[in-house]
Chain A
Amino acid sequence: MLLHVTKKVLIAILTIWLIITISFVLVHTMPGDPIIFLIGEEEYYYLLDNDPAYLDQLIEKYGLNDDMGTQYARYMRSVATLDFGESYSNHKPVLENFLSAAKWTLRLSIPTLIVACFLGAVLGIHAGIHPGGRFDRITTPIFLVLNTIPSNCLSLLLLILFAYKLKWVPINGMVSPGVMGAARTASILHHMALPLFILIIFRTSGDFMLMKSTVSQIRSEEYVLTARSKGIGRQKVLFRHVLKNALVPYSTSLCMQLGSLLSGSMIVEVVFGWKGMGQMMYTAVSNRDFATAQFCFLLSAVCVVLSNLLGDIVNAAIDPRIRREAGADD
């Protein structure tokens, strides 16, 4: 098992290195001067016309006159020291912007993950154990619709209903200005109620569909019949024989969701004016803030690699067939 984990970790490190390198190569092989990507197109042409000396200084500062090897070494060093440069939009270090946005994203994504993972599993198991039953007939179409409706449509519809018509929640924002202490916490909770509700609905519907289809498929497996024929009781059959097997695809999905904890939900954040990672990524791309956008994409890629790694390790811990395939049988 240790060998399997080590192998997977090494592959993940290699993949992350490749992603970082490719992002460097892309910038330096794309048509146009790399300084355009670093300071933005508008700034570049402004400086080119008005202050070419400062532009040269910037080129010198970013070391763009150095040979590729030197530039690559410097780039790797800055990635290793988490120095991703300054944001073109507010001239603050990208890392500082990230820490501020991540805090707000995590406020939405952590409760979403916990509640949706639990709700989706419980409801999915219940529907999957009695496929075609009353509960399944009611819940499946509801979650199917929720799972397929675009999130911006649902967000806008609920925003109109709860914020505009009923005025139960604010239209957008994260906290009312000028409030402190417990009132501030209450204000944040008030503001996050609707986006959180929408994110939970989406995530739960996905988790529900996955768990339901997995459980209903596994319950008709021959080994479940064998388990039932042993008279070991409904609960033991469910937990020991059905859920243990259902855990393999479900844990994979959960690990993937963990990977998107930081990247946030761009659409919901933009609709609700929630200044999290999704919003940060959206703004960076719209404003051609290259340093921030590059950081966001690197972060997303690293999160995907790490969540894959976690998924691989968890699956190997649950499923001996995966350990055997990886040559790490116990």
Chain B
Amino acid sequence: MDETRQILLRVEDLSVSFEGKNFVQAVEHVSLEVFTGDRLCIIGETGSGKSILLLAILRLLSPTARVTGSVRYRDQDLFRLTEKQLDAIRGSRISYVPQGSGNGMNPLLRVGFQVAEPLIAHRGMKRKPAEARAVELLRRFHLGREETIARQYPFTYSGGMRQRALIAMGISAGAELLFADEPTKGLDETRVLLTAEAFNALEGQTLVCVTHDLNFARRVSSRVCVMYAANQVEAAPTEELFRKPLHPYTRDMLAAMPENGLRFRPGYAPAHNDADTAGCKYRLRCDRCSEKCRQTPPMFDVGGHQVRCWQYE
């Protein structure tokens, strides 16, 4: 570990649940540290709690979410800040890139303005120069005819174009920590490569990226955190994780990649409110399951490689 790097973000024992009739435990006791200059990718299947984790850190979840644990950004406890203090951090020091396939851009505002909004809010720029800067940012993502399309509305964009515009928006104010939620969703392979290139070219910015795209994660990240059924099950330097995955879920997930033969393990993750699956959440699918797996395993450190599995006790 480079000693000059500082901890930028420390998440401790973060849990998120949605109370009510349909109780959902979306994130369970997740702890992670992000250092300056880190490229952290959070991978895992749909519904494993990756996106909720990002939103919980930024306190962007709905009031129905019950969030416990702590999040420290540099010397500030994000969960103790007022909404106004948090607004000074959001977009300015920590920015967020939502999924482009969804409805992440206001349909009634021009894309150029939406990309420029953080510059106007946090960098004191006037609207015109901020929008001119937005055009430059869009150019970095090869949208084509950037000056014209900056004046257009999001509904005229394809999903891929919208995704790239959202990334441009995320990096517009030069926040030191960038959260990206599935930035390659809906992009073709060429655009995925261009997005990876753009992320790799970010200077002085730290990246926390949620993705399903394992190849993209390998291209852009220096560390990977694996989530399964609301739990963090493994965290390791990227190459080590891809070379030698420790958790049975990670191994199965990598085996299911096309280049590894599409070997898919049958079964599903337990429901978020399934009380019968106390202990390791993967035990019902795991071929090395033992009686001990009925208890929740702690995170074991195997030479800097963290894994939540009793095999490594």
Chain A residues with CB under 8 Å of chain B are 220-223, 225-234, 236, 240-241, 244-245, 318-321, 324
Note all chain B residues with C-beta closer than 8 A to A245.
106-108
Give chain A nearest CB distance to B137 CB in angstroms: 14
Note all chain B residues with C-beta closer than 8 A to A225.
55, 60, 98, 104
Whether A241 contacts B106 by the Cβ 8 Å rule is yes
Whether B107 contacts A223 by the Cβ 8 Å rule is yes
Whether B108 contacts A231 by the Cβ 8 Å rule is no
Give chain B nearest CB distance to A20 CB in angstroms: 37
Note all chain B residues with C-beta closer than 8 A to A241.
106, 109
20 pairs of residues in contact across A and B, judged by CB atoms under 8 Å: A225-B55, A225-B60, A226-B105, A229-B98, A230-B91, A231-B89, A231-B91, A231-B118, A232-B118, A233-B87, A234-B87, A240-B106, A241-B109, A244-B106, A245-B106, A245-B108, A319-B108, A320-B153, A320-B155, A321-B107
Any A CB within 8 A of the CB of B256: no
For the complex, give the distance between the alpha carbons of A298 and B106 in Å. 41
Give chain B nearest CB distance to A129 CB in angstroms: 11
Whether A229 contacts B103 by the Cβ 8 Å rule is no
Give the top 4 A-B pairs by smallest Cβ distance, nearest first. A231-B90, A229-B96, A230-B91, A231-B91
Q: With CB as the reference atom, state the residue of chain B lying closest to A330.
A: B151
For the complex, give the distance between the alpha carbons of A230 and B84 in Å. 12
Q: Mark B97-113, 1 if CB is under 8 A from A, else 0.
A: 01100111111110000
Whether B117 contacts A222 by the Cβ 8 Å rule is no
Q: With CB as the reference atom, state the residue of chain B lying closest to A224.
A: B106
Whether B91 contacts A232 by the Cβ 8 Å rule is yes
Whether A232 contacts B96 by the Cβ 8 Å rule is no
Whether A231 touches B107, Cβ cut-off 8 Å, given contacts A225-B60, A321-B155, is no
Whether A231 touches B106, Cβ cut-off 8 Å, given contacts A220-B62, A226-B98, A321-B155, is no
Any A CB within 8 A of the CB of B95: yes
Whether A232 touches B87, Cβ cut-off 8 Å, given contacts A225-B60, A321-B153, is yes
Q: With CB as the reference atom, state the residue of chain A lying closest to B90.
A: A231
Residues of B within 8 A of A (CB-CB), count: 35
Whether A223 touches B105, Cβ cut-off 8 Å, given contacts A229-B60, A321-B153, is yes
For the complex, give the distance between the alpha carbons of A154 and B96 in Å. 51
Give chain A nearest CB distance to B121 CB in angstroms: 4
Any A CB within 8 A of the CB of B285: no
Whether B121 contacts A233 by the Cβ 8 Å rule is yes
Whether B104 contacts A230 by the Cβ 8 Å rule is no
Whether A223 contacts B106 by the Cβ 8 Å rule is yes
Any A CB within 8 A of the CB of B166: yes
Give chain A nearest CB distance to B76 CB in angstroms: 14
For the complex, give the distance between the alpha carbons of A241 and B169 in Å. 16
For the complex, give the distance between the alpha carbons of A234 and B86 in Å. 11
Give chain B nearest CB distance to A298 CB in angstroms: 37
Any A CB within 8 A of the CB of B92: yes
Note all chain B residues with C-beta closer than 8 A to A240.
106, 109
Whether A227 touches B153, Cβ cut-off 8 Å, given contacts A232-B91, A233-B87, is no
For the complex, give the distance between the alpha carbons of A240 and B120 in Å. 14
Question: Quick one: which of B102, B104, B122 contacts A231, CB cutoff 8 A?
Answer: B122
For the complex, give the distance between the alpha carbons of A225 and B55 in Å. 9
Give chain B nearest CB distance to A245 CB in angstroms: 6
Note all chain A residues with C-beta closer than 8 A to B95.
229-230
Any A CB within 8 A of the CB of B58: yes
Note all chain B residues with C-beta closer than 8 A to A232.
87, 91, 117-118, 121
List 7 extra interface pairs beyond A222-B102, A225-B98, A226-B106, CB under 8 A.
A226-B104, A226-B166, A230-B90, A230-B121, A231-B92, A320-B108, A320-B155
Any A CB within 8 A of the CB of B156: yes
For the complex, give the distance between the alpha carbons of A223 and B155 in Å. 13
Listed residue (A245, A318, A320, A321) with the most chain B CB atoms within 10 angstroms of its CB: A320
Any A CB within 8 A of the CB of B83: yes
Whether A229 contacts B106 by the Cβ 8 Å rule is no
For the complex, give the distance between the alpha carbons of A227 and B169 in Å. 11
Q: With CB as the reference atom, state the residue of chain B lying closest to A242.
A: B106
Note all chain A residues with C-beta closer than 8 A to B84.
233
Whether A222 contacts B104 by the Cβ 8 Å rule is yes
User: In the complex, which residues 111-135 of chain B have their Cβ closer than 8 Å to any Cβ of chain A?
Assistant: 114, 117-118, 121-122
Note all chain B residues with C-beta closer than 8 A to A318.
108
Q: With CB as the reference atom, state the residue of chain A lying closest to B102.
A: A222
Whether A231 contacts B166 by the Cβ 8 Å rule is no
Any A CB within 8 A of the CB of B88: yes
Whether A231 touches B155, Cβ cut-off 8 Å, given contacts A223-B104, A223-B107, A245-B106, is no
Q: With CB as the reference atom, state the residue of chain B lying closest to A130.
A: B63
Whether B60 contacts A231 by the Cβ 8 Å rule is no
Note all chain A residues with C-beta closer than 8 A to B121.
230-233, 236
